[in-house]
Structure 1
Amino acid sequence: MRVALIGHGFMGAAHSQGWRTAPRFFDLPIRPEMHLLVGRDAAKAYAAAEQWGWAETATDWRAAVERDDVDVVDIVTPGDTHAEIALAALRAGKHVICEKPLANTVAEAEEMTRAAEEAAADGIRSMVGFTYRRVPAAVFAKQLVADGRLGEIRQIRAEYLQDWLSDAEAPLTWRLQKDRAGSGSLGDIGAHAIDMVEYVSGIRLESVSGILETIVSERPLLGEGVGLSGTASTERGPVTVDDVALFHGRFANGALGSFEATRFRTGRKNAFRFEISGSLGALSFDMERMNELEFYDATSPDLEQGFRRILVTEAGHPYTGSWWPTGHMLGYEHGFSHQVVDFVQAVAEGTQPRPSFADALHVQRVLDAVERSSVAGSAWTPIG
């Protein structure tokens, strides 16, 4: 299975880690090869390929997706390019992994989903990179819910808290431009919260009421050729996306949810948390303690009640048996290896890997509904 990675940078490094490591720890039915890395700047692409272990480089993604020696196209570019690249790859008969959120608009996501479903009829598989689904504690949480350990789900809370934009002089990057990123904290990290709680609970959102806020409306422009860690110029440009997203939601079973996605929660680096409460129990997860899951069993005797900490590192826990002895921690990068494992196995079996483009389209519709609700003064808005 010869893979072409389109784009590099932060997600390029993470996906490369997954492709490189997965076949060395898991017994895969097909062996992936890190065949081609594609980037606009030839020198930067070559340097990234050398560092991460890709065999070749190219600068033209259109030519890359048409190559006979490419079987999988892995898209880690900014959101404004997802649709064009994915559509071209699917039409060329390539399997596709696309980073989240799927697209910048619902219309783009709908077109991508139709193309993916048409390609699936010919055995072409596609998947979206909501990688936190591959954290062992999150998968174990889903198993507990599916086994009925929480009873009837009544309330769900999720928050994704970062602070990397709390400095008002941090430079204006593509993630702060709506035409490039689609949305700000809502789409970048709020999408993870939406997908995760629906995945774990097995229940979808039906309506939302929310508000979006841009706290810093202008930021220094990056100097020519300067990256995220470089020095900003004295000129300033408008921030056209949200810095904070707050919304409530009602799920299909009637349960209520509350969500927060922010890049301005000072002191929080990558605090992705969710808590699901039911008639028989509850569970709580925090990405900053990603090897742990807290579980509350409301059926226990009164004198024994309280949340208990489960260390999700046993060989019988999801994915963990292929890594280290019990009690040895996994990290952020392991989710990308697990993503490769699930994708390769689905391709080999001829089944639909999850989350599918259709799953990601639903998340895109939730994002759109939150944005429309904010414009309408936080009015309750149905999911399209």
Structure 2
Amino acid sequence: METDWRRLLERDDIDVIDICTPGDTHAEIALAALEAGKHVLCEKPLANSVEEAEAMAAASEAARARGVRSMVGFTYRRVPAVAYARQLVAEGRIGRVLHVRGAYLQDWLTDPEAPLTWRLQKERAGSGALGDIGAHIVDLAQHVTGEALTGVSALTETFVRERPVSDPSLLGTSGISGTAASNGSTMRGPVTVDDAAVFVSRLSGGALATFEATRFATGRKNAIRLEINGTRGSLAFDFEDMNVLHVFDNEVPSRDAGFTRVLVTEADHPWVAAWWPPGHVLGYEHGFTHQAVDFLTAVAAGADPRPSFTDGLQVQRILSAVETSAEREGSWTPIDGARTTSPVLS
């Protein structure tokens, strides 16, 4: 089995590079792969810094001129309920967007004895819950509404600041050092990223937005929640009930009003051709399958897949603004290069 990614770039029988490594290697691999003429699918967040993401976006544009395609892996765009929500917003079914609420809740770090991993080290992961899962809800909010975040006010917190080290290679690198536990049997290393991030924002169309990303929501396994309130109605989605979109029509007479539970497995969603039979549930892995289908189909057709590296760069700027705001105790921080008007849904 090939263990050096550089060797893959030398092989004529490999056309696509899928980057699913820790964030500190995304830029190096993507830049080299694009230069070698390989199509690139890169996991989110695109990079560990805005500067890296800018370099990757510029390289992707240069490669695009040579017919080389690239995409960032915001997988949850491929959930049929999310695609349906985006369609309803684009059709004006909920009117002008007033509020957006996004949350991504997990609990896999609530145990203080859970071991230190690369995801808990800033030099490897870039950030914690913010980049790992917060990037998803930022992308979903913008993707579904067709609007961009223009600024943020944020707070972050690290609840467990040291964890057991099961892999000694994590110690002694980039300033990371370990300390012995009281019984002398276990080494512990510092957690250098956020465990949770909360922030408020404003969208380019004037809507107010709130976001929460945490890996300390006890009992929540993969709760990605998105609610959008508009002048004509509302939409609500929860990934833990991923085949359903709740739709409220504000123009229905009050005696008949209420959220309608729409089962999207019965709908003519974008990926129905590769779907389970009607009535079967969507599995978590389907989003990755749909992502691969969309990416490879675009490559074969010579089309531009979405989300692009430029989309990934825009999310990276938001993550950076959240960190800057949190460092300043929540001061309002504009997004660099943010649009001031709503983009066209595409």
Question: Is TM-score (shorter-chain normalized) higher than 0.5?
Answer: yes
Q: Give 2:189's aligned amino acid.
A: G
Partner in structure 2 of residue 374 of structure 1 = 326
Alpha-carbon separation, structure 1, partners of 2:103 and 2:3: 38
User: Does structure 2 conserve the Cα–Cα contact (< 8 Å) formed by 1:90 and 1:96?
Assistant: yes
Partner in structure 1 of residue 310 of structure 2 = 358
1:132 to 2:84 alignment = no
User: Does structure 2 conserve the Cα–Cα contact (< 8 Å) formed by 1:211 and 1:246?
Assistant: yes
Q: Which blocks of at least 5 consecutive residues in structure 2 are unaligned?
A: 171-180, 337-346
Partner in structure 1 of residue 145 of structure 2 = 201
1:347 to 2:291 alignment = no
Aligned-residue offset at 1:225: 8.3
SS at match of 1:159: strand
1:122 to 2:66 alignment = yes
Alpha-carbon separation, structure 2, partners of 1:294 and 1:185: 27
SS at match of 1:242: coil
Percent same amino acid at aligned positions? 63
Alpha-carbon separation, structure 1, partners of 2:163 and 2:299: 44
Matches for 1:54-73 after TM superposition, within 5 Å: 57-73=1-17
Deviations 1:67-117 (A, max 9, x none): 111100011100000000000000000000000000000000000000000
Alpha-carbon separation, structure 2, partners of 1:171 and 1:71: 37
1:91 to 2:91 alignment = no
Aligned-residue offset at 1:320: 2.4
1:190 to 2:137 alignment = no
Alpha-carbon separation, structure 2, partners of 1:343 and 1:289: 26
Aligned-residue offset at 1:223: 4.0
Partner in structure 2 of residue 161 of structure 1 = 105
Deviations 1:346-368 (A, max 9, x none): 11222210000000000000000
Aligned-residue offset at 1:323: 1.8
Q: Give 1:101's aligned amino acid.
A: P
Say which of 172, 176, 194 aligns to 1:242: 194
Alpha-carbon separation, structure 2, partners of 1:379 and 1:224: 38
SS at match of 2:165: strand
Q: Where does structure 1 differ by over 3 angstroms across 4 or more consecutive aligned residues?
A: 223-226
Aligned-residue offset at 1:314: 1.8
Partner in structure 2 of residue 252 of structure 1 = 204
User: Does structure 2 conserve the Cα–Cα contact (< 8 Å) formed by 1:210 and 1:379?
Assistant: yes
Q: How many residues of Structure 1 are paired with residues of Structure 2 in the alignment?
A: 323
Q: Give 2:194's aligned amino acid.
A: D
Q: Normalising by structure 2, what TM-score? A: 0.91
Q: Which blocks of at least 5 consecutive residues in structure 1 are unaligned?
A: 1-56, 227-231
Alpha-carbon separation, structure 2, partners of 1:116 and 1:124: 8
SS at match of 1:88: helix
Aligned-residue offset at 1:127: 0.2
User: Does structure 2 conserve the Cα–Cα contact (< 8 Å) formed by 1:315 and 1:321?
Assistant: no
Aligned-residue offset at 1:181: 0.2
Q: Normalising by structure 1, what TM-score? A: 0.82
